[in-house]
Structure 1
């Protein structure tokens, strides 16, 4: 029987599944990042504090990275929508994953935590 985290990723269909799994591996590769099942979704903590999460946008049916302190990051591709504190980065799972863009935004998010 799979734990809730693994089950979340396993039940997705391709190409969403592949994109989410790639983002999962990318996030877990950072030193100080730990993965947890919180609020019914995969949440990533940096040095013990909430950092970001992975989810699928209901309206656009695209995976995204939700950044906890996203409102403090000025990047044209981050969406605030109706969130007070967080911003999201939509990832088009039908195209190549923009690894450099993701890493650039994560670098800014890590800088806020130092």
Structure 2
């Protein structure tokens, strides 16, 4: 198992399946330009080798989240900055429907800010 797979398989269900589904959707949204690496022990998604977003777990909120680079340029009421300079996060509520369309739209917007 590669390190990225190991990251996901340390997460309990149903969170694991949810994050794997989101991972698949992100990678499929632009397979020629979006890649995945493990940085700081976390799965990072990159657009043309530039930082795009990553998954992590918030101890404060007790939820997984997706963190968007250039989040300081994104304006959406569900995004939280919480003192971060370049990133904003979107908490993933496992009890609700996933906002896949919103996530893909935010990724598209971040890609527009990457030069």
TM-score (norm. length: structure 2)? 0.91
Corresponding residue number in structure 2 for 1:61: 62
Work out the CA distance in 2 between the residues paired with 1:25 and 1:63: 16
1:76-110 Cα deviation digits (max 9, x unpaired): 11110121111111110122111122122222112
Q: How many angstroms does 1:21 deviate by?
A: 0.7
Q: Aligned residues, how many? A: 113
4+ aligned runs moved over 2 Å, structure 1 = none
Partner of residue 22, structure 1: 21
List alignment gaps of at least 5 residues for structure 2: none
CA RMSD of the aligned region, Å? 1.2
Contact 1:16 1:62 in 2 (8 A): no
Contact 2:50 2:114 in 1 (8 A): no
Structure having the higher strand fraction is 2
Contact 1:80/1:88 (<8 A) preserved: yes
Q: Unpaired runs of 5+ in structure 1? A: none
Task: For residue 30 of structure 1, report the CA deviation from its aligned partner.
Answer: 2.5
TM score, norm. by length of structure 1: 0.91
